Structure 1
Amino acid sequence: MALFYIQGVPIGYMSIMLAVIASMGGFIFGFDTGQISDLLIMPDFLLRFAQCGTPGDVSTCSFSTVREGLIVSLLSIGTLVGALIGAPTADFFGRRRAMQLECLMFVVGVIIQITSTHTWEQIALGRMVSGFGVGALSAAVPMYQSETAPPQIRGTMTATYQLFITFGILVAYCISIGTRHMSGAGSWQTVIGIGLIWPAILAVGIQFMPEASSPRWLAAHGHIEKAERALAACRGMTAKQAESDFIIKKEIDEIRSSVEYEKSVKAGWLECFAPERKMLYRTLLGMSLQSLQQLTGANYFFYYGATIFQSVGISDSFVTQIILGAVNFGCTFGGLYIMEKFGRRYPLIIGGVWQSMWLFVFAAAGTARNPQTDQGIGTLMIVSACLFILGYATTWAPGIWILIGETFPTRTRAKQGALATASNWVWNFLIGFFTPFITRDIQFRYGFVFAACNLLGAVVVFLFLYESSDISLEAVDMMYNDPDCKPWTSRTWAPPGYNDRKDLIDQTRAAEQHKAIAEVEHVEKAGEPSGQNGFHDSAAAENGTVKH
């Protein structure tokens, strides 16, 4: 039974459940990202893994720039490798099985970390092993969500991955503030060890999702009937209802045509860099957007936020971290709405400009006055950081993950998605490792660098990104290969047979309305009250056709 309708199209509970369960991969990512900032200033963690002038005296303990950078950033080396191996894993085992294997890899990394006693290298190694799982999940989950979600809610469903990243960061901050006063290793081992729960939820939960395989992956492996059932489940329909449904038939025909074409072309890694069909264009675009997401500067705050706010004179940087995390999480809900309502291009362009503006304020304030002696400057810097996070959480944070799931054709989606995500992790590593060196030399002027990168991101989106909202993944492929369509005109493009994007939406809605009316009339003629059939009743009520 359909839960609700969007643009006249039924949306089933399965679409929502698949998006939420798969998004636990994002929660794992966020939890691992958020915990390290607070771990670095926990007393027992410092005593065990930092360099101490006087053994046992935490006030003399500190991390060297190299050691701190490696502990933070080796996670990103693991995620880089994981993102690249995630593509063949997802294609070979299928999206669901691949995610379960990647959860197991993350668990191994957590165990390595919590069994360390005094060896910082073991902590760094464990984070790198966990990174293998996190990186592979970061490539697989958005792709899986985009392949299963109906086009009308694909942006929202894919953006739940980013929502869960922010939720994971916030939960990590909250757990850290609760364990920081625990005696001994429990203060930091508890934070890391709780990370075992999240992959268990994902691995077990996805197993119990019926029809949980990607329709496009099923079709590519010759299971057209299963693909149709998977689409029907996401629409809240039975297999019998799907047999006569206009939307299902149209989407299955598109998928079948796309698969048949793709079988005639050998899809290897080199094809991702072929100039034909704008493959190279889209690969470079995806890699650029993922790189620029890191260069917004968000992880400057998430990785080193506790250290940053200590340096501006905040007495309890744990609390400030929670404030930032809460702003990040809360504003991402707005991002779900914005990316669905206004498409992809406008939010990313406006977001880039907004983020640049507040980073400039952050950097200028910290450079003009000493925030440790000027309380007003310190407050201004925290406010500007929160306003930067507001813009990031509503635009660039969810938007880029959505685009990675819907920009590439099916035959190379896993590989191109892996290359794009790997670019994200390369810059993640560079920022994580080199930030201590850079801030030591230029301090808060580092914000000017990120401000410029945000403006560059807005320009790249305007010149090169096509608007992919409201159309099927197969239609997105057609759009990129239409010589008459340009990025700045793509908002109105629609597949052949439609005048523009609005006409596509209107015709889809009209087709569903006509079908709903016909079904209700058929039921009433047969003498069955329409209210006894949940699907018919919901469809008719949505379109105002129920007769009383």
Structure 2
Amino acid sequence: MALFYVNGLPIGWISIMLAILASMGGFIFGYDTGQISDILLMPDFLVRFATCQTPGDASSCSFSTVREGLIVSLLSIGTLVGALFGAPTADFLGRRYAMTVECVVFMIGVIIQITAFHSWVQFAIGRLVSGLGVGSLSAAVPMYQAETAPPQIRGTLTATYQLFITFGILVAYCISIGARSIDGSGSWRTVVGIGLLWPLILGIGILFMPESPRWLTAHGRFPEARRAIAATRGIPESEADDHFFVHRELEEMKSAIEFESKVKAGWLDCFKPERMQLYRTLLGMTLQMFQQLTGANYFFYYGATVFTAVGIQDSFVTQIILGAVNFGCTFGGMYVMERFGRRFPLIIGGVWQSVWLFVFAAAGTAKDPKEHKNIGELMIVSACLFILGYAMTWAPGVWILIGETFPTRTRARQAALSTASNWLWNFLLAFFTPFITRAIDYRYGFVFAACNLAGAVIVYFFLYESSDLSLESVDMMYCDPTCKPWTSRTWAPAGFSSRQDLVEQARAAEMHKPLEAGAGEETRYEKAGGPPDAAAKAA
């Protein structure tokens, strides 16, 4: 039975459950990201893996720049490799089984970490192995969500992946503050070991969810695909073979898969200038790069260390405040990106983030925050306001754009290249941040402030507004020589009076209602350059 209706179309509770359960993949990444900042400060971890002037005295222990950078950043190397292999693995095993296997890989990495006694190399290798699982999940989870969720709520359900990343970070902070009082290695082993629970939930629970109907259709398993579609629509399984919605969506999948099989492209096609392919590949990779260069992970990876340095007595509590701001504001980000489009929030977000990073860096540079309590408090407030802007704009916005910007025939490869760019810069920042901060201290914030401004400028001059458009229309917009990024908000294909007219016609066609203004769907598409099939082929 349908849970509720959107635009008159049924939505089943299974579609909500599978999106939430699959988003545990994002939670796993967030938890693994959030835990390391606090673990680096735990006394037993320092005694075991850092260099100590007095054996057994944590206050005399510290990590070398290289060692600290490798412990933090090797996770990102694993995610980089895993992201490139995630899509082929999901194609070969199926979306659900791939996620289960990737959860096992992550758990192996966790076991390697908690069985380390005095070898920091073993702990770092464990993070590398866990990264392989996380990176593969980062490719498989959004793919599964997008292919399984009903189109009417696909954007919102796919955005739960980013939401769960922030939730995972917050939970890691909360568990760390509770575990720090445990004697001996139980402090950090508890935080790391609890990480085994999340992949168990995802790896086992996902097997009780329906497989991606698109993957089933691509492998000729049509009866199973019908049942999967019916489940997400809240339609009884007994009606799956004859129900109108199930039949229509299955036929659309068959047509799309047949079309894609004829236009399947290789990696080199991502870098061809025709149809703005190279432009969009570089744009996607650049946006992912600047998402890292916002400086958000500077606080997530090294936040506890930073706030200890500014004289905050309990940096663990400060981390929780940052995590809560990040998590709570992500809900607002989901609304902002739907309400105000893509370009405007990213531009405003870049400027906002730059301002507060400038305040953070200027305050820390002007006076020693350890000696001036007000300066330290100002830096904490600046960091929170920075995270507020990031969580509402660049954090969800870039991931949404990766799913909207590329054409069908090269979408998977261009998305993989863009995601790989994200993980590469994630590694570079995680590894080199200790070196940079030791050299320029809080002036590092000025670097991130400049990068945020540069990101806003790039969005203005190069990113096209893709909100409210179908993926086919987005492709047409990028290929229209008369359309410029700064005018793209009002762009609509030939034959439509405005973008709003295009949106209304698309909704009407989706609901199979008569079109207004005396024009049929065929007439509209003929004005735009041909019938629906021809338009699809042109895209």
- Taking the aligned partners of 1:165 and 1:329, their CA distance within structure 2 comes to 8
SS at match of 1:469: coil
Give 2:379's aligned amino acid. M
In structure 2, the residue matched to 1:141 is 141
Instruction: Determine what percentage of the aligned residue pairs are the same residue.
Output: 74
Q: Which amino acid aligns with 2:179?
A: T
**How far has the Cα of 1:159 moved from its partner?**
1.5
Change (3 A) 1:138 1:342: same
1:57-109 deviation digits (Å, cap 9, x = unpaired): 11111111111111011111111111111132122223222222211110110
| Alpha-carbon distance change, 253 to 470 in structure 1, aligned in 2, over 3 angstroms | farther
Residues 151 and 472, structure 1, Cα contact 8 Å, conserved in 2: no
- Quote the residue 2:196 is aligned against: 196
1:40 lines up with 2:29 in the alignment: no
Partner of 1:213: 212
- 1:533 maps to what in 2? none
1:355–1:392 contact (8 Å) kept in structure 2: yes
Alignment-mate amino acid for residue 364 of structure 1: A
- Give CA-to-partner distance per residue, 1:452-496, whole Å, 9 cap, x none: 111121222222223333344444444434444443344344567
Distance in 2, matches of 1:209 and 1:403, equals 27
Alignment CA distance shift 1:256-1:438 (3 Å): same
What is the CA–CA distance in structure 1 between the aligned matches of 2:450 and 2:171, rounded to whole Å? 31
Give the equivalent residue in structure 1 for 2:312.
314
Partner of 1:368: 366
Counterparts of 2:229 and 2:261, CA distance in 1: 21
| Counterpart Cα distance in 2 of 1:474 and 1:225 | 28
- Correspondence for 1:179: 179
Partner of 2:339: 341
1:281 aligns with 2:282: no
State the one-letter code of the partner of 1:286: G
Deviation, 1:271, is 2.4
The 3-state SS of whatever aligns with 2:3 is strand
Distance 1:142 1:450 in 2: 28
Distance 1:38 1:254, change over 3 A: same
* Aligned-residue offset at 1:269: 2.2
In structure 2, the CA distance between the partners of 1:266 and 1:513, relative to structure 1 (3 Å rule), is closer
Letter in 1 for 2:92: F
3-state DSSP of counterpart to 2:369: coil
- Please say if 1:11 is aligned against 2:11: yes
1:237-292 deviations in whole A, cap 9, x for unaligned?
4685896758983x666654443332223432222223333332222222111111
* 3-state SS, counterpart of residue 408 of structure 1: coil
TM-score, normalising length: structure 2: 0.88
Counterpart residue identity of residue 136, structure 2: A
Tell me: CA distance 1:22–1:182, structure 2 relative to 1, closer, same or farther (3 Å).
same
Instruction: From the superposition, tell whether residues 500 and 97 of structure 1 become closer, same or farther in structure 2 (CA, over 3 Å).
Output: farther
Distance in 1 (alpha carbons) for counterparts of 2:60 and 2:448: 33
Out of 497, 501, 504, the position equivalent to 1:503 is 501
Q: Give the Å deviation of 1:497.
A: 6.8
Bigger drift between 165-174 and 239-248 goes to: 239-248
| Distance (Å, rounded) in 1 between the aligned partners of 2:509 and 2:181 | 61
Task: State which of 404, 414, 426 in structure 1 corresponds to 2:424.
Answer: 426
CA distance in 2, matches of 1:432, 1:322: 20
Out of 295, 314, 318, which is 1:297 matched to? 295
Query: Whole-Å Cα distance in 2 between the matches of residues 238 and 467 of structure 1?
Result: 39
Alpha-carbon distance, 1:406 to partner: 3.1
Aligned to 2:324: 326
What secondary structure does 2:390 align onto?
Answer: helix
Which residue type is aligned with residue 356 of structure 1? S
Distance of 2:100 and 2:383 partners within structure 1 = 36
Q: CA deviation at 1:328?
A: 0.6
Counterpart code for 1:435 = T
Q: CA deviation at 1:56?
A: 1.0
Letter in 1 for 2:105: M
Contact 1:7 1:508 in 2 (8 A): no
Q: For 1:264, what is the secondary structure of its paired residue? A: helix
Equivalent position to 2:464, from 456, 463, 466: 466
Higher relative contact order (CA 8 A, sep 6+): 1
Residue number in structure 1 paired with 2:529? none
Is the CA contact (8 Å cut-off) linking 2:271 and 2:277 kept in structure 1? yes
Amino acid at match of 2:208: F
Equivalent residues of 2:360, 2:379 under 8 A apart = yes
Please list, as runs of the form range in 1=range in 2, the aligned pairs for 1:234-273 lying within 5 A after superposition: 234-237=232-235, 249=248, 255-273=253-271
Q: 1:268 to 1:91 in 2, by over 3 A?
A: farther
* SS of equivalent residue, structure 2 residue 322: helix
Aligned with 2:4: secondary structure?
strand
Q: What is the deviation of 1:303?
A: 0.5
In the TM superposition, what is the alpha-carbon distance from 1:220 to its structure 2 partner?
Answer: 4.0
Task: Tell me, yes or no, if the aligned pair for 2:285 and 2:419 is still in contact at 8 Å.
Answer: yes
Distance in structure 2 (CA, Å) of the matches to 1:155 and 1:253: 22
**2:69 counterpart of 1:69:** yes
- 2:440 counterpart of 1:442: yes
Gaps of 5+ in 2: 515-539
Q: Distance in 2 between matches of 1:241 and 1:478?
A: 35
Q: Distance in 1 between matches of 2:349 and 2:241?
A: 40
Deviation for aligned residue 1:4: 3.3
Query: Structure 1 residues 74, 512: closer, same or farther in 2, change over 3 A?
Result: closer
Mark the CA change 1:307 to 1:335 in structure 2 (over 3 Å): closer, same or farther.
same
| Match in the other structure for 1:386 | 384
Query: Would you say how many aligned residue pairs link Structure 1 and Structure 2?
Result: 513
Alignment match, 2:27? 27
Q: 1:246 to 1:192 in 2, by over 3 A?
A: closer
